Amino acid sequence: MNGNSGRSMAQQQVQAGVDYDQAGIDFVLTLERPCMDHLQFLVERASESEGEFCGHALMASCPPAPEPESEIPFGHGPRQNGDAQKTWDLSKSDLSNLLDLSKRLDLDGEITPVMAWGMVLGHPRFAELKLEDFERMSHELKTKIRCYGFGAVLEEFEVRDVLASVFNVKSELDLVY
């Protein structure tokens, strides 16, 4: 048994200077941003009696089920034009639940933003990543996101490529210093 086995992940995160749970939430929400323009419309339409299913159910930014608006725990986040847009308030346990649920999806080479975060978490060199690395990856990957009406997806190889790029830069920097 090693000395770290009794520590919580939160304690290890503080020591590393990164709140990995919050970094994951930010990563996923950044990748889901392309759906934000139409997500609220779909949720509201799904709550009508003759409304259609939302189709974005396994996204971090989507409420789990249509509910009366007064009961939906929406927050407000900044948009590029300065307007506030409603977004689902996502807790760290919600991200973990979505990660578990996403393991059941088979999207034939495509993955959701939550699944992309799972790939980042599962990388053998994950502990080397800093906050700026997560930000760089999410900003590079958000240009690869597509929505076909059921939620944000991207190609799995795109995540592998971005991870490889980040770790190649880290290796090159290690050689310089």
| Residue 33 resides in a domain | yes
| Residue 64 resides in a domain | yes
Distances (CA, A) of 96 to 25, 58, 77, 135, 161: 10, 12, 21, 20, 24
First-to-final CA distance of the chain: 33
Lowest mean pLDDT among 77-91, 134-148, 159-173: 77-91
- What is the total count of domains within the chain? 1
CA dist 23 and 122 (Å) reads 15
pLDDT, tens digit, 9 for 90 and up, residues 72-83: 444 444 444 444
pLDDT score recorded for residue 83? 45
Identify the helix (H) or strand (E) that includes residue 146: strand 146-147
Question: Could you give the angle at the alpha carbon of 131 between the alpha carbons of 7 and 56, nearest 5°?
Answer: 95
CA dist 169 and 166 (Å) reads 5
| Residue 155 resides in a domain | yes
| Residue 161 resides in a domain | yes
| Residue 3 resides in a domain | no
Domain boundaries, position 167: 17-176
Residue 76's nearest CA partner among 88, 59, 94, 92 is: 88
pLDDT, tens digit, 9 for 90 and up, residues 58-113: 455 554 444 444 444 444 444 444 444 444 566 666 666 666 666 666 667 888 89
| Residue 5 resides in a domain | no
Compute, in degrees rounded to 10, the torsion defined by CA atoms 30, 90, 146, 45: -130
| Residue 4 resides in a domain | no
